[in-house]
Amino acid sequence: MNIFVYPGSFDPVTNGHLDIINRAVKMCDKLIVAVLINTNKKPTFTIEERVDLLKTVLAGRPDIEIVSFSGLTVDLLKKCNARVIVRGLRAISDFENEFQMALINKELAPDIETIFMMTSINYTYLSSSAIKELAINNGVIDGMVPDCIKGKILEKFRYKQGESNGNLFNT
Ligand code: ADP
Q: What is the CB-side half-sphere exposure of residue 124 using CA atoms within 13 A?
A: 5
Nearest Cα residue to atom 1 of ligand 1: 8
Q: Tell me, rounded to whole angstroms, the distance of Cα 122 from its chain centroid.
A: 17
13 alpha carbon – ligand 1 mean position (Å): 9
Overall number of domains in the chain: 1
Does 163 map to a domain? Answer: no
Does 162 map to a domain? Answer: no
Residues 86 and 32: their CA atoms lie apart, in Å, by: 10
Does 143 map to a domain? Answer: no
Does 131 map to a domain? Answer: no
Q: What are phi and psi of 35, to 5 degrees?
A: -95, 120
Per-residue H/E/C for 28-73: CCEEEEEEECCCCCCCCCCHHHHHHHHHHHCCCCCCEEEEEECCCH
41 is a catalytic site residue: yes
CA angle 65, 70, 74 (to 5 degrees): 75
Among 41, 129, 158, 164, the active-site one is 41
Does 104 map to a domain? Answer: yes
85 alpha carbon – ligand 1 mean position (Å): 13
17 is a catalytic site residue: yes
pTM (two decimals): 0.93
Among 9, 50, 87, 128, the active-site one is 128
CATH of the domain at 56: 3.40.50.620
88 alpha carbon – ligand 1 mean position (Å): 5
Does 57 map to a domain? Answer: yes
Residue type, position 21, single letter: I
pLDDT value, residue 138: 83
Does 46 map to a domain? Answer: yes
Sequential pLDDT tens for the chain (171 residues): 999 999 999 999 999 999 999 999 999 999 999 999 987 889 999 999 999 999 999 999 999 999 999 999 999 999 999 999 999 999 888 899 999 999 999 999 999 999 999 999 999 999 999 999 999 998 899 999 999 999 999 999 886 655 555 444 433
Taking the C-alpha atoms of 86, 131, 52 and 89 in order, what is their torsion angle to the nearest 10 degrees?
A: 0
Does 145 map to a domain? Answer: no
Which atom of ligand 1 sits closest to the CA of residue 118?
Answer: 25
* Domain encompassing residue 23: 3-122
For residue range 113-128, list pLDDT tens digits in order: 999 999 999 999 999 9
